[in-house]
Structure 1
């Protein structure tokens, strides 16, 4: 049985991914922010393991490392994310950027560092960072996001996360760990875009299919809708 760690597992895409990996007989290691979330999920996934922690807290990395001390992890899904509805310079505030950068980038780094020993115990480990098409500098330069309503803070933090993905891919390939970024599609969630059309369940199914079919290569940046994206 394979083991998967999912952050932000209590709602949206994270919850859909937990359901999909459970169908594929993975052992679930779920990171959630509250006892309430744990209690609710434990009913649905009685065999799952839970860590209650805010992924942006200073203690998160050490708590994660201790929790996973004897675990062999095959897969880490960095799904926890945040966004702010501030698509213009007038509406954007520095605190929005700080919040999104903490969640969408620094927390990913903390998760990888906290789970690295466990990933190294696997013969074929993979890190999947749930990114966004809005993190693509090339697409931004070609006006793909102009007028989309997507916030400065979300775009900037996802671009930073993409650079982190490439840094990790460079560093970890020498120890046999692959790192990829996936745009999960235009999801019908609370953070969904104006052109959203895909359910989290459909996205999760496509993501798991990509993983199970071993189609993902180190340094890939993939959309579940259109294939490879430009960084």
Structure 2
């Protein structure tokens, strides 16, 4: 059951101050959806705050450090109070959660990978999204035979694929994205009975601060493709690792 294109969604996007998160926010707003966009330092998120001014009442910007459990708990307390998430018949609910926030520690070499990099990457890229989804689970819309349930989209990476591994590169990022893939599979099982779809998505190599200027894709192209995959997904896809064309990525 695909989402009717005219039906506005209530969305949460993490890491929305730049890159893919900012572009997800832009494109969701352009569709008419309502968005809660989070980042660690909202006061410094100039582009995001400009968007909020252009879309009063439909974009709310809230602080979130996904690696900090206290910050996750605070967001879970605040979301039900937002008018932007109020449904007409079922209160504050979430139709789409995009776990985009993450970190990449560049320049790592074998024999010189700091434990702090691994700890930070796992907390930001894997355990953080898992705990956030768990905390927001009561707000996720249930699906049944008459309506589509919520979708949780975890932004993974081809570097998190064990099957595609060809070289020793950025281990803290690769390990944490592989862990995010397992978190996706676990969440899919945990939320399946409620009709909620959970996906791991590989956007490809994208021109962002993280991806660099030599990357293959613009953020606008990558996000448009990923939203098409999200739109086309069903509960049967829950727990899968998909690329921007909807193809299966090797675990």
Normalised TM-score (structure 1): 0.89
Q: Which stretches of structure 1, 4 residues or longer, exceed 3 Å deviation after superposition?
A: 37-40, 120-123, 213-216
* TM-superposition CA deviations, 1:34-84 (whole Å, max 9, x none): 132456423213331122121112312221211222521001000001011
Q: 1:18-167, aligned counterparts within 5 Å? A: 18-37=25-44, 40-45=47-52, 46=55, 47-69=58-80, 70-120=91-141, 123=147, 124-140=149-165, 143=166, 146=167, 150-167=169-186
* TM-superposition CA deviations, 1:8-53 (whole Å, max 9, x none): 0010000011111111111011111113245642321333112212
Q: Rate the CA distance shift 1:206–1:199 in 2: closer, same or farther, 3 A.
A: same
Counterpart among 215, 223, 247 of residue 196 in structure 1: 215
Q: For the residues of structure 1 that align with 2:212 and 2:240, how far apart are their CA atoms?
A: 23
Residues 1:174 and 2:193 are matched in the alignment:
yes
Normalised TM-score (structure 2): 0.83
Unaligned runs of 5+ in 1: none
Aligned residues: 225
Q: Which moved more, 1:217-226 or 1:38-47?
A: 38-47
Q: Which moved more, 1:9-18 or 1:114-123?
A: 114-123
Is the 1:127–1:179 Cα contact (8 Å) retained in structure 2?
A: yes
Name the counterpart of 2:83: none
Is the 1:3–1:72 Cα contact (8 Å) retained in structure 2?
A: yes
CA RMSD, Structure 1 to Structure 2 (Å): 2.1
Q: For the residues of structure 1 that align with 2:231 and 2:202, how far apart are their CA atoms?
A: 17
Q: For the residues of structure 1 that align with 2:73 and 2:142, how far apart are their CA atoms?
A: 18
Q: For the residues of structure 2 that align with 1:96 and 1:29, how far apart are their CA atoms?
A: 29
